[in-house]
């Protein structure tokens, strides 16, 4: 089999190479890991108040329980750097100190950790810990404390906090069609299948942790900055992660607590958060209030856009979601103003959740664009096409590629779009709606190494993670195609800080960034192999390496061949390193992925119950690295969008700062009954300005546009313009027809 026969491996729907390990139960997730030393189990005692100071804590009864090895509190916790300090590396690298003092940071904050031989013993003893707290008033709702709002130092994704282009007031006043609205989106939790879990073990000042984390390099810095140790003394292992969606980008409380317990007991300590823990000791998407004003002329050309967002952030944890970011790149306009403000609150960490910024920003903005199209009397698809920009509306940079128009038009054709259709089928009100999708395409520095063993097998290593997205598989395909060998001759190893450093999984930049590094390493190794072959003893010594080729497991010239394994054996094994970094095109061009989504909903005319019947998406993400895993990612994103539109919300009792629906019985996510057959299409493409592979970010693109398409379909069915998400049936009652209608 010749080298060129492997040139089509990238893009093929190759089955997940890690699939057999997972379905056979052999994949080792964080809480599955067992070393040679028996582990102890940690159980978190949570604070019953959201803000205050611990005045006394009694652990005697807990310490006397059978099997209990230690009870950790602020009184005996290992030394730590204060929470939030050493933040030059960003929020993920800052100190994540837990129980450093008697301060309570939020409801559910750890006030003690019970370490015992078994989970049952630890849980029983935890009930016996008595704590008294001097409770203080906290801030939980940014709108009731808007007088304390401030401009954040920066936004997630490094967008400008505020922008002002053109004269908004003048253009808005001159607009023949004007619409405005105030939108509310709720707090949400990622609810990954695998809760956060960590096994920690100390050897002197060296810390080893097996944990569920998306970005290992930042996690290493976080432990170092928390415990005042060297980053190289921290070893993180995370080969398999059961979902992340942004909730595992960094280190969270259970990881620091496991390290506390291990330090005090001298044994490895395992903590797996239970589901209710995750809602207080893991991160969440913060609630937002967004205000929008849009104006267009009589020809349906947008003249003015105003988008401001108010949200909440956890104290000493600098995360502000860029809700207005997609607005800045979506449509041509003469004037645009965007603004972000935050209020510091006494809440668990507010942090990234899939498509941070774009998910909540397109949800509201694309709903308002639909309203403006209706005001102008223009079909929503035509309205968007009519206002397509030639250059990035805010920066003025040229687009690396922009296939939004194609996504809109192909989506309309595949859905059978005939405008915002409204009809009735018995008690069901049927409506069609659509929305555009846009998300920044990012690239980050990454490194990789590839090794040829003496038996001719290739092993790729990098500290990249696979959170269920198919990283093992696509990196296998990239290495195999670059080398010109079959995928079964390649093994990819991930999730270990002993491997070359990468950007990790997040921001939809992982595949393009780490894939480029792997391709670079494979090319270097291939060039080395061919050059060595050209110098090998035998008939072809002195041949030009450019005339050599790889065929399967052999290097070939004419009728002569040399097994790759022979070169590996002669050399005692060969290796090469590769690297990737953003090119100048990421500074000089506007880089985005695009999509368009179309929805059909049915609303019960009596109850207001909403049922999604169809959802079609057409997406441009450049070159597709694996058709099967890409489709899976888009499908998952679209399901996220369904949840955001119709069900997902973390409800807080603002008297106490308590999330009330802290389990999957009450925090509703989309299940099979809620999801129709999804119609997913990917346009062909290759963005040479993105990275050498030609790919663009895809993981979070699918969520963008799904929610507003559903909301716009609800409007078509009922006449109700959604201002509060998720959409509840009671929101629609006043818009439903009379019972005798």
Q: Are residues 524 and 614 in the same domain?
A: no
* 3 part of the active site: no
- DSSP category for residue 126: H
Residue 595 lies in a domain: yes
Nearest to 501, CA basis, from 586, 573, 582, 580: 580
- Residues 506 and 30: their CA atoms lie apart, in Å, by 19
Domain count, the chain: 3
Distances (CA, A) of 80 to 377, 468, 542: 62, 33, 62
Per the CB < 8 A criterion, the answer to whether 704 and 617 are in contact is no
pLDDT, averaged in runs of 10, over the chain (741 residues): 60 97 97 95 98 98 98 98 92 98 98 98 98 98 98 89 98 98 98 97 98 98 98 98 97 98 98 97 98 98 98 97 97 98 98 96 98 98 98 97 98 97 95 98 98 94 98 98 94 98 97 98 95 78 82 82 84 93 97 98 97 98 98 98 98 97 96 96 96 97 98 98 97 88 49
Per the CB < 8 A criterion, the answer to whether 215 and 250 are in contact is yes
Per the CB < 8 A criterion, the answer to whether 317 and 84 are in contact is yes
In the prediction, which pLDDT does 546 show?
83
Per the CB < 8 A criterion, the answer to whether 411 and 598 are in contact is yes
Helix, strand or coil, per DSSP, at residue 633: helix
Q: Which residues contact 160 (CB under 8 A, 6 or more apart)?
A: none
Q: Are residues 537 and 627 in the same domain?
A: no
Distances (CA, A) of 721 to 183, 258, 367, 616, 731: 11, 48, 8, 22, 10
In the prediction, which pLDDT does 3 show?
41
Q: Residue 450 belongs to what domain range? A: 3-27+444-581
Residue 647 lies in a domain: yes
- Residues 458 and 214: their CA atoms lie apart, in Å, by 25
Helix, strand or coil, per DSSP, at residue 687: coil
Q: Which residues contact 739 (CB under 8 A, 6 or more apart)?
A: 606
- Residues 10 and 131: their CA atoms lie apart, in Å, by 58
- Using the 3D structure, point to which of 533, 557, 581 is the last residue of a domain: 581
In the prediction, which pLDDT does 7 show?
63
Kindly report whether the global pTM for this prediction surpasses the value 0.85. Answer: yes
- Residues 610 and 670: their CA atoms lie apart, in Å, by 13
In the prediction, which pLDDT does 1 show?
37
Residue 365 lies in a domain: no
- Residues 396 and 114: their CA atoms lie apart, in Å, by 57
DSSP sequence for 272-311 = E--HHHHHHHS-BBPPEEEEEEEEE-TTS-EEEEEEEEEE
Residue 741 lies in a domain: no
Dihedral of alpha carbons 531, 532, 533, 537, sign:
positive
Q: Are residues 438 and 570 in the same domain?
A: no
Nearest to 18, CA basis, from 361, 476, 700: 476
- Using the 3D structure, point to which of 225, 246, 267 is the last residue of a domain: 267
Residue 505 lies in a domain: yes
- Using the 3D structure, point to which of 213, 233, 267 is the last residue of a domain: 267
In the prediction, which pLDDT does 557 show?
84
CATH number at residue 90: 3.90.1170.50
In the prediction, which pLDDT does 2 show?
40
- Give the burial class of 426: count Cβ atoms within 10 A of its Cβ; 0-12 exposed, 13-18 middle, 19 or more buried: exposed
Structure tokens given for 651: 């409800």
Nearest to 176, CA basis, from 298, 304, 333: 298
Distance of CA 339 to the CA centre of its chain: 23
- Residues 399 and 326: their CA atoms lie apart, in Å, by 14
Q: Are residues 600 and 680 in the same domain?
A: yes
Q: Are residues 465 and 611 in the same domain?
A: no
In the prediction, which pLDDT does 5 show?
47
Q: Which residues contact 691 (CB under 8 A, 6 or more apart)?
A: 443, 512, 513, 515, 516, 580, 583
Q: Using the CB atoms, write b or e for 20-42: b if 16+ within 10 Å.
A: eeeeeeebebbbebeeeeebbbb
Per the CB < 8 A criterion, the answer to whether 365 and 176 are in contact is no
Stated as kind and residue range, the H or E segment containing 132 is strand 130-135
Strands 458-461 and 490-493: what pairing? Answer: parallel
Q: Which residues contact 189 (CB under 8 A, 6 or more apart)?
A: 247, 278, 279, 282, 284, 285, 353, 650, 659, 667
Structure tokens given for 161: 């906090």
Q: Are residues 12 and 111 in the same domain?
A: no
Strands 428-440 and 422-425: what pairing? Answer: antiparallel
Q: Are residues 77 and 222 in the same domain?
A: yes
Catalytic residue among 481, 648, 649, 700: 700
Q: Are residues 430 and 455 in the same domain?
A: no
Measured CA angle at 149 (ends 146, 155), to 5 deg: 135
Residue 341 lies in a domain: no
DSSP sequence for 147-172 = GG-B--S--TTS--S-EEES-HHHHH
Per the CB < 8 A criterion, the answer to whether 548 and 534 are in contact is yes
Residue 520 lies in a domain: yes
Q: Are residues 625 and 698 in the same domain?
A: yes
- Residues 386 and 733: their CA atoms lie apart, in Å, by 35
Residue 157 lies in a domain: no
In the prediction, which pLDDT does 539 show?
66
Q: Are residues 457 and 512 in the same domain?
A: yes
In the prediction, which pLDDT does 553 show?
81
- Virtual torsion, Cα 53, 55, 57, 58, nearest 10 deg: -170
Q: Are residues 574 and 673 in the same domain?
A: no
What Rg value do the Cα atoms of the chain yield, rounded?
A: 27
Strands 592-604 and 422-425: what pairing? Answer: unpaired
Structure tokens given for 486: 């079959």
CATH number at residue 570: 3.30.365.10
- Residues 405 and 384: their CA atoms lie apart, in Å, by 8
Structure tokens given for 321: 């979601």
Distances (CA, A) of 257 to 80, 632, 711: 12, 35, 42
Distances (CA, A) of 73 to 48, 176, 217, 409, 425: 15, 64, 28, 60, 62
Strands 288-296 and 269-272: what pairing? Answer: unpaired
Give all strands of the β-sheet with 446-452 in edge-to-edge order.
Answer: 490-493, 458-461, 446-452, 574-580
Helix, strand or coil, per DSSP, at residue 473: helix
Q: Are residues 254 and 113 in the same domain?
A: yes
- Residues 115 and 474: their CA atoms lie apart, in Å, by 40
């Amino acid at each position: 089999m010749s080298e060129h026969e492997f040139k089509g491996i990238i893009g093929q729907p190759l089955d997940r190479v890690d699939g057999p390990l997972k379905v056979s139960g052999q994949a080792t997730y964080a809480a599955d890991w067992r070393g040679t030393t028996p582990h102890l189990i940690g159980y978190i005692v949570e604070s019953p108040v959201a803000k205050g100071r611990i005045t006394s804590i009694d652990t005697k009864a807990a310490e006397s329980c059978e099997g209990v090895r230690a009870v950790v509190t602020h009184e005996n916790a290992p030394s730590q750097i204060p929470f939030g300090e050493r933040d030059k590396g960003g929020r993920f690298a800052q100190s994540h100190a837990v129980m450093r003092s008697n301060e309570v940071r939020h409801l559910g904050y750890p006030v003690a950790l019970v370490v015992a031989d078994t989970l049952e013993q630890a849980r029983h003893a935890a009930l016996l810990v008595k704590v008294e707290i001097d409770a203080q008033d906290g801030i939980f709702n940014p709108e009731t404390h808007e007088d304390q709002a401030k401009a954040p130092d920066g936004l997630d994704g490094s967008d400008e906090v505020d922008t002002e282009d053109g004269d908004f007031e003048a253009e808005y006043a001159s607009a023949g069609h004007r619409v405005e609205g105030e939108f509310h989106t709720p707090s949400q939790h990622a609810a990954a299948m695998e809760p956060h879990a960590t096994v920690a073990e100390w050897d002197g000042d060296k810390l080893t942790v097996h944990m569920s984390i998306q970005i290992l390099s930042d996690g290493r810095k976080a432990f170092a900055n928390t415990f005042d140790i060297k980053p190289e003394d921290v070893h993180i292992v995370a080969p398999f992660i059961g979902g992340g969606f942004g909730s595992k980008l960094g280190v969270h409380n259970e990881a620091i607590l496991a390290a506390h317990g291990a330090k005090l007991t001298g044994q490895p300590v395992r903590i797996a958060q239970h589901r209710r823990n995750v809602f207080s000791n893991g991160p969440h998407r913060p609630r937002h209030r967004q205000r929008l004003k849009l104006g267009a002329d009589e020809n349906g050309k947008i003249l003015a856009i105003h988008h401001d967002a108010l949200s909440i952030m956890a104290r000493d944890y600098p995360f502000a979601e860029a809700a207005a970011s997609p607005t800045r790149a979506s449509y041509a306009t003469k004037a645009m103003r965007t603004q972000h403000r935050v209020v510091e609150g006494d809440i668990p960490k507010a942090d990234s959740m899939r498509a941070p910024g774009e998910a909540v920003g397109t949800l509201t903005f694309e709903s308002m664009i639909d309203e403006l199209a209706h005001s102008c009397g223009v079909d929503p698809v035509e309205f968007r096409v009519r206002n397509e920009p030639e250059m990035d509306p805010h920066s003025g940079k040229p687009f690396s590629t922009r296939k939004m128009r194609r996504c809109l038009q192909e989506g309309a054709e595949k859905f059978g779009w005939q405008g915002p259709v409204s009809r009735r089928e018995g008690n069901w009100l049927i409506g069609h709606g659509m929305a555009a999708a846009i998300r920044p395409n990012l690239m980050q520095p990454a490194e990789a190494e590839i090794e040829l063993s003496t038996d001719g097998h290739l092993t790729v290593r990098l500290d990249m993670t696979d959170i269920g997205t198919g990283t093992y598989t696509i990196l296998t395909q990239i290495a195999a195609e670059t080398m010109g060998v079959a995928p079964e001759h390649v093994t990819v190893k991930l999730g270990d800080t002993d491997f070359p450093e990468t950007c990790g999984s997040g921001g939809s930049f992982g595949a393009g960034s780490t894939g480029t590094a792997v391709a670079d390493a494979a090319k270097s190794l291939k060039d080395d192999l061919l050059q060595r072959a050209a110098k090998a003893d035998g008939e072809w010594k002195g041949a030009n390496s450019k005339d050599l080729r790889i065929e399967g497991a052999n290097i070939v010239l004419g009728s002569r061949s040399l097994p790759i394994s022979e070169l590996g054996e002669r050399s005692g094994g060969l290796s090469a390193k590769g690297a990737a970094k953003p090119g100048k095109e990421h500074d000089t061009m506007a880089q985005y992925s695009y999509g368009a989504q179309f929805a059909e909903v049915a609303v019960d005319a009596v109850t207001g119950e909403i049922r999604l019947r169809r959802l079609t998406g057409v997406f441009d993400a450049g070159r597709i690295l694996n058709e099967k895993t890409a489709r899976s990612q888009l499908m998952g994103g679209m399901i996220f969008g369904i949840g955001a539109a119709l069900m997902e919300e973390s409800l807080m009792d603002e008297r106490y700062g308590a999330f009330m629906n802290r389990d999957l019985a009450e925090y509703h996510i989309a299940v099979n009954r809620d999801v129709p057959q999804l119609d997913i299409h990917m346009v062909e493409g290759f963005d040479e300005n993105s990275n050498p592979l030609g790919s663009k970010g895809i993981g979070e693109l699918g969520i963008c546009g799904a929610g507003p398409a559903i909301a716009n379909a609800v409007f078509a069915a009922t006449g109700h313009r959604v201002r509060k998400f998720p959409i509840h049936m009671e929101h629609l009652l006043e818009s439903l027809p009379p019972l005798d209608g």
